[in-house]
Amino acid sequence: MAREIVALSPEKLEIRDIEDPVVGDEQVLVRAEYGAAKHGTEMAAVKGYGNRGRFDPDLQLFVEVDEPAGSAGVSRVGNMLVGKVEVVGPKVESLKVGETVAVHSSFRDLVVKPEGRCWKLEAGIGWKDAVCLDPADFAMCAVRDGNVRVGDAVAVFGLGAIGLMVIQFAKLAGAYPIIGLDPLANRRSVGEMCGADLVMDPAAVDAGLELKKATGNRGGDVVIEYSGNVHAMQAALRGVAFGGTVVAGAYPPPYGAGLDLGAEAHLNRPNLIFSRACSEPNRDHPRWDEDRIFSVCKRLFQEGKITGEPIVTPVVGFEEIVDEYLKIMSDPGTNVKLGCYF
């Protein structure tokens, strides 16, 4: 039987047996070799704060349901897998048995996916790059939505996997300086590896003020917020330049007290842009969609212009995930993007 890992609560994970998946005509069976989690988004499910009710696609808003908001239940964990194609359906044309692909999936050793949702990995793309295709997707979209241009001063709050990819895309776009902000020393260190010109601990300084000082008192042309923290958003509004842009890309819990839209935000009139790569149509539709973004990310990984190598850490065995995953919540200074091998 196949196996998968689920979170029973924020304090407990388990490995459970599941039925072997059945392959349809246009589907592919993949046996996992490597995988990685997506810390921020998965926490919304594991902790339960992502629940705002039921999203009505016609009204495009959340409507109330009987289940209380903020309740955590059983949820799958893990975000992407890399593995070998074991079986292809009779109508599959682009993939062959034995080829290596990346897919979106929770932590499980066998997974079936539609042919179009499997990304074949050519030479030059390591598995750590491949599992960073997802954060690269959202990061590239955020940089494009923020209209980052050559010479722009860019600040990035939250140096998880997406924020670290944002630094790399901003570097490619010619931004300077690129300033990374995170309270965790391990993430600031990786931020420097990814190309940040300056890193700082926003919990130890007045981040908005320091952003002004680091940019000749002008402020950031574009400030991209991926921490999901209300104080980071406030600092972003304080540290952005007059008429600059704040990009809100995180999936945060409901903000509590601390967000003041009547201070610098009111006087300096920044543009506030919400970014989400998979909310289609894209802002640049019909020329751009998520498939095009993914294709560009894959090419940039293959060319060595962006990398997931310093981001995926630690890497543990599949069975160890049930214990290591809890450190995302209890000891975040020991991880950036949790990876595993099967």
CA distance 63 to 75: 22
Nearest-CA neighbor of 236 among 166, 173, 154? Answer: 154
**pLDDT over 60 (residue 60):** yes
User: What percentage of residues in the chain have a pLDDT greater than 90?
Assistant: 88
What's the rounded mean pLDDT across residues 230-248? 98
The model's confidence at residue 147, banded by pLDDT at 50, 70 and 90, is very high
Q: Coil, strand or helix: which one is 286?
A: coil
User: CB 241: neighbour CB atoms within 10 A?
Assistant: 20
pLDDT in tens, 13-26: 999 999 999 999 99
Please, what are the domains in the chain?
2-132+311-341 (3.90.180.10), 134-274 (3.40.50.720)
**pLDDT over 70 (residue 71):** no
Structure tokens at 27: 């589907």
CA distance 256 to 265: 18
Q: Report pLDDT for 43.
A: 87
Q: Report pLDDT for 191.
A: 99
pTM assigned to the model: 0.94
The model's confidence at residue 194, banded by pLDDT at 50, 70 and 90, is very high
DSSP 333: G
The dihedral sign for the CA sequence 13, 253, 179, 308: positive
CA distance 312 to 287: 32
pLDDT in tens, 312-335: 999 999 999 999 999 999 999 999
- Mean pLDDT, the chain, whole residue set: 95
Question: Which amino acid, one-letter code, is at 106?
Answer: S
Our separate counts of H helices and E strands in the chain read: 11, 18
